[in-house]
Amino acid sequence: MKDKIINLFTALESDNIGKSFPLDYCLPVYHCVSDEDLPHIKHIIKYKNTRQFEKDLDYISKQFRFVDWNEFKNFTSGNVKTGKKIALLTFDDGFREFYDLVAPVLERKGIYACNFINPAFIDNKELMFRCKSSLIIDKISEVKVVDTEVYNVLSLEKNTTLEMLQRHLLTINYQKKDVLDNLAERLEVDFQSYLKEYKPYLSTGELKKLTEKGFGISSHSWDHPKYGDLSLEQQMNTTNKTFAYLKENGFLYESFAFPFTDFGVKKDFFDELFKNEEMYCSFGAAGVKLDSVKKNFQRIPMEMGESAEMILKKETAYFRLKRLMNKNTIVRK
């Protein structure tokens, strides 16, 4: 019923979304762009190919004015006003394709982007646990028959279907990520070999070259936990550790983007975060929403299997619907 109502509202949206968009800023977020089959991502992210990505950029460019980091700060702090609403392009996780495919497209189009990275994975030292799940799912899809010990490790019945097994793997969280290493050993999935051969993440050298080209490199926590599942002490430890890394390497240390989501993150975290006077803002990924923490901006996930035009129209329609119920602002307590 909810989807039907949103689709109805979406159909009524104007084609001039830049004018009808409910906020003065648009914050699209992507993870990866690739024309290849990426086993470490394809089961967790509906990433777009280069043609789809360029089509998205062209659409957004017509509706908004793309800005760089300093322009975004000046605009949102009220120092600069323009007739056209702005867009700040963001990426998460520091995947290699940002250097190989995305940056050349953005340079050609004159568009800035900021990539929020996890230092634990830079230089391909480690693989994020969700990417491990994707590789394991890919292996299971190939072998068809799974050792019964795999079901035992996951406390699943032996008659569990492969589809249910794959879905279960995607429920394994940060706190239980060691289970994935156990499963990989049993299924003969070698994460270290994959890191060495494919190199899914950016290197330090590539990050510095991107910075020289004018792109932003900023904070996405140390190793991608879900902040709503951490204590305040754990939240600050992973945040501050990443902040120190950014400063040490000359990257952008004025911002922070939540890994996964900021759902369940309480006001006390933001109070601690913004004690750091160098921190300008933080970013969630809840779509077009307002936040009771004024320095926390919500971004729009763009990897939903739809075009930028459809996603922005749906987000606008959903915002209007939520506003009718007075529920378009995230309230922190």
Confidence (pLDDT) at 83: 78
CA 32-284-253 angle, to 5 degrees, is: 80
Place of tokens 């004015």: 65
Confidence (pLDDT) at 10: 66
Pairing, β 89-92 against β 28-30: parallel
pLDDT digits (tens, 9 = 90+) for 54-113: 999 999 999 999 999 999 999 999 877 777 899 999 999 999 999 999 999 999 999 999
Q: Which of 6-15, 17-26, 221-230 has the lowest mean pLDDT?
A: 6-15
Confidence (pLDDT) at 3: 67
Mean pLDDT of the chain: 94
* Distance, CA of 13 to CA of 69 (rounded, Å): 30
Distances (CA, A) of 76 to 40, 73, 85, 235, 295: 36, 5, 11, 26, 9
Distances (CA, A) of 232 to 194, 247, 256, 272, 330: 34, 22, 16, 9, 19
Strands (E), the chain: 25-26, 28-30, 65-66, 86-87, 89-92, 113-117, 216-219, 255-257, 281-284, 290-291, 296-298, 300-301, 329-330
Across the range 33-40, mean pLDDT stands at: 98
Between residues 16 and 297, the one the model is more confident about: 297
Confidence (pLDDT) at 16: 81
Which amino acid is present at 258?
F
pLDDT band for position 11 (cuts 50, 70, 90): low
pLDDT digits (tens, 9 = 90+) for 185-232: 999 999 999 999 999 999 999 999 999 999 999 999 999 999 999 999
Contact 267, 332 (CB under 8 A): yes
Between residues 304 and 3, the one the model is more confident about: 304
Distances (CA, A) of 163 to 16, 42, 160, 185, 233: 42, 15, 8, 21, 37
Confidence (pLDDT) at 146: 85
pLDDT band for position 8 (cuts 50, 70, 90): low
Around Cβ 151, how many Cβ atoms within 10 Å? Answer: 16
pLDDT digits (tens, 9 = 90+) for 245-267: 999 999 999 999 999 999 999 99
Residue 155 per-residue DSSP state: T
Calculate what percentage of the chain has a pLDDT beyond 90.
Answer: 84
